[in-house]
Chain A
C-alpha cells in the first residue's frame, strides 16, 4: 500500500502545465505558507473558454497532483463548466486522495475560482448574470 494512488503519483512526478502565463487573463493565488500549501493558477481565456492554464505550487504531493489534474480538467472547457469544477471532481479524477489530504484538492478548486474572479473583475461584462 502506497500513500497515494498511481494516478496521484503519476501527476506528482510529471505535473502537467507547470509554469507561468505572462499575459494571463486571470490569476488566482490561494493558501498560505502557514498551513503549508500555496497554489497559484494562471488562466488564458478566449471566447469564454479556458484556452490555456498553468500553475505554480508550494505544497505536498497531493497539492501538486491536484494542481496538475485541475489544469487538465479545465483546459478547452467553457467558463460555465470551469465555474462548476469541484474539489471532489479533481480528487475523483486522481482516483481518490487520503481523507486528511482532501483539503489540498480544495485549494485547486479555490485557485481556479480565484483566477476566474480576477478575470471577471477585469471584464465585468463577461460575468454570467445570476
Chain B
C-alpha cells in the first residue's frame, strides 16, 4: 500500500490546477503589462485568478498580492507592519513561540534591527490564550501575528477573537494561514484580519506561488523593487500560469471544504485512537481544535528519523520533528514550545491525511506504526532503561 500522509509538507497538484497551468503556458503567454491583445488577455486571466482567490476569503481582489509563496508573504507582512509602526514610534511586535520559521526568523532579524519582540506561550495544548494576547499589547505595539493553524501539530487558534481584540486596540493583525487556507473557513472581514499569508502548494496548487492579503489602507512595503506589478508592491513580471493554477486549486479545495472536513475528522480521530493504544505515547496538541487531517504523536524511547525510514519502506510518507530529520541538534521548536522535553520530542511522528484518505489506509498506518515502534524499542537503550526502572517514564 502507498499512502501519502504528509499533506502539511506539500500536496499533490489537482488535475484542475495542472490543466489551468498548462493552458495558460500554452495559450496565454503574453506579458500582462503589454498593451496588445495577447498581453491584455494575460492580464485579464491574472485578474480573474486574483478575484477568485479573494472571494474564497471574502477579500477584495485589489487586496491580494501574489507572491512566491508563504515565506515571502510572511516576510512582507511582518516587515511592512514593523516599518509602518516605526514611522509612528511603535516598535513592539507580538507573535507566538511556535510560528513557522518564515515568521520567527524574520522577527529575529527585526529584533537585531532594534524592534522589541514578545513571543507568547502556546501551552500544553498548543493554543494561544486570548487574555495573554490582550495582556501583551502595549502602547508601542504595532503588530500581532498569530498563525491560523500550526503546521506541525495542527492546532487552530482563536483567530476571530484575536482579530477583534487587535481591531479594538488599533494594532495590525497578521495571520499565517498557510495551513488553513482552503481547509478551514476564513473570512477576513468577519475575523477582522489585516494581513494573511497563504501558499498554493498546501491546497493542491503549484509550489513557488502564494499570496498575501492586505486589507485596504494597511501600508505595505516592498521586498522586491522594480516594475509596477502588483500595485507596485511586488516587482517582477507576474507568473500568470502559477497564479491561475493557484486560483483553480483553491476554488476546488475550498469548494469541497465542508465535505472534506466531515470525511476527514472521523478518520483523524480513528488514527488518534489507534496510535494512542501504543503504550507511553501522547498526542501533541489539542484533540478538538485541530486541522481535520492532522495527527501528531510522541512515542517514548524511539527516534523519529528511523521511524520515518521504516514507514517509508512500508509505503507510508510521514514526517517528524526529531533533530536528526531537521539536520540540527534540536528537535522541533513547536514540540518544545508545548512543553515536550528533548528526549520525547525526538520521537515524534506527524501524519497529515489528504482528502482521499480511507479507513483502510488509516488502519494500515496504525498497524505499521505499532509494529515499527515496537521494533525500534526492542533495541533502544533508552527503552531498556525505562522498562527496567532505571529511568522514569515521561509519557
Contact partners of A101 in chain B: CB under 8 A: 324
- Chain B positions 284 through 305: 1 when the CB is less than 8 Å from some CB of chain A, otherwise 0: 0000000000000000011111
B308 — nearest CB in chain A belongs to which residue?
Answer: A61
Given contacts A60-B303, A61-B306, A61-B309, contact A33 B346 (CB under 8 A): yes
Contact B343 A57 (CB under 8 A): no
Contact B382 A38 (CB under 8 A): yes
Contact B309 A35 (CB under 8 A): no
Interface size band for A = 20 to 34
Contact B303 A37 (CB under 8 A): yes
Contact partner of B331 (CB less than 8 A), chosen from A36, A39, A100, is: A36
User: Separation in Å of the A18 CB from the closest CB of chain B?
Assistant: 5
Q: Is the interface of B mostly helix, strand, loop or mixed?
A: helix
Interface size band for B = 20 to 34
Please provide the chain B residues from 309 to 356 with a CB less than 8 Å away from any CB of chain A in the complex: 309-310, 313, 322-325, 327, 329, 331, 342-343, 346
- Cα–Cα, bound, A55→B331 (Å): 24
- Cα–Cα, bound, A38→B346 (Å): 12
Q: Is B393 an interface residue (CB 8 A)?
A: no
Q: Is B381 an interface residue (CB 8 A)?
A: yes
A29 — nearest CB in chain B belongs to which residue?
Answer: B381
Contact B382 A33 (CB under 8 A): yes
- Cα–Cα, bound, A104→B305 (Å): 13
Contact A56 B384 (CB under 8 A): yes
Q: Is A119 an interface residue (CB 8 A)?
A: no
Contact B324 A60 (CB under 8 A): yes
Contact B381 A36 (CB under 8 A): no
Q: Is B383 an interface residue (CB 8 A)?
A: yes
Q: Is A19 an interface residue (CB 8 A)?
A: yes
Contact partners of B382 in chain A: CB under 8 A: 33, 38, 58
A8 — nearest CB in chain B belongs to which residue?
Answer: B309
Q: Is A43 an interface residue (CB 8 A)?
A: no
Q: Is the interface of A mostly helix, strand, loop or mixed?
A: mixed
User: Separation in Å of the B23 CB from the closest CB of chain A?
Assistant: 32
User: Separation in Å of the A8 CB from the closest CB of chain B?
Assistant: 10
Contact partners of B323 in chain A: CB under 8 A: 35-36
B313 — nearest CB in chain A belongs to which residue?
Answer: A13
Contact A60 B380 (CB under 8 A): no
B382 — nearest CB in chain A belongs to which residue?
Answer: A58
User: Separation in Å of the B259 CB from the closest CB of chain A?
Assistant: 37
A104 — nearest CB in chain B belongs to which residue?
Answer: B324
Contact partners of A64 in chain B: CB under 8 A: 306
User: Separation in Å of the A22 CB from the closest CB of chain B?
Assistant: 13
Contact partners of A12 in chain B: CB under 8 A: 306, 309
Contact partner of B324 (CB less than 8 A), chosen from A18, A29, A36, is: A36
A103 — nearest CB in chain B belongs to which residue?
Answer: B329
Contact B342 A34 (CB under 8 A): yes
Contact B329 A60 (CB under 8 A): no
- Chain B positions 8 through 27: 1 when the CB is less than 8 Å from some CB of chain A, otherwise 0: 00000000000000000000
- Cα–Cα, bound, A64→B379 (Å): 10
Contact partners of B305 in chain A: CB under 8 A: 59-61
Contact partners of A40 in chain B: CB under 8 A: 381
- Chain A positions 33 through 77: 1 when the CB is less than 8 Å from some CB of chain B, otherwise 0: 111111110000000000000011111111110000000000000
A62 — nearest CB in chain B belongs to which residue?
Answer: B324
Contact partners of A37 in chain B: CB under 8 A: 303, 324
Contact B380 A36 (CB under 8 A): no
Contact partners of B383 in chain A: CB under 8 A: 58
Across the A-B interface, the 6 shortest Cβ-Cβ residue pairs: A60-B324, A33-B343, A60-B305, A40-B381, A36-B323, A58-B380
Which A residues are closer than 8 A to B by beta carbons?
A: 3, 9, 12-13, 15, 18-19, 29, 33-40, 55-64, 100-101, 104
A12-B306, A29-B381, A60-B322 are known contacts; what are 4 more A-B pairs with Cβ within 8 Å?
A33-B382, A58-B303, A58-B380, A61-B306
Pairs A–B under 8 Å by Cβ, sample size 27:
A3-B309, A9-B309, A12-B309, A13-B310, A33-B342, A33-B346, A33-B382, A34-B343, A35-B329, A36-B329, A36-B331, A37-B303, A39-B381, A56-B379, A56-B384, A57-B379, A58-B303, A58-B380, A59-B306, A59-B324, A60-B306, A60-B322, A60-B325, A61-B306, A63-B303, A64-B306, A104-B324
Which B residues are closer than 8 A to A by beta carbons?
A: 301-306, 309-310, 313, 322-325, 327, 329, 331, 342-343, 346, 379-384
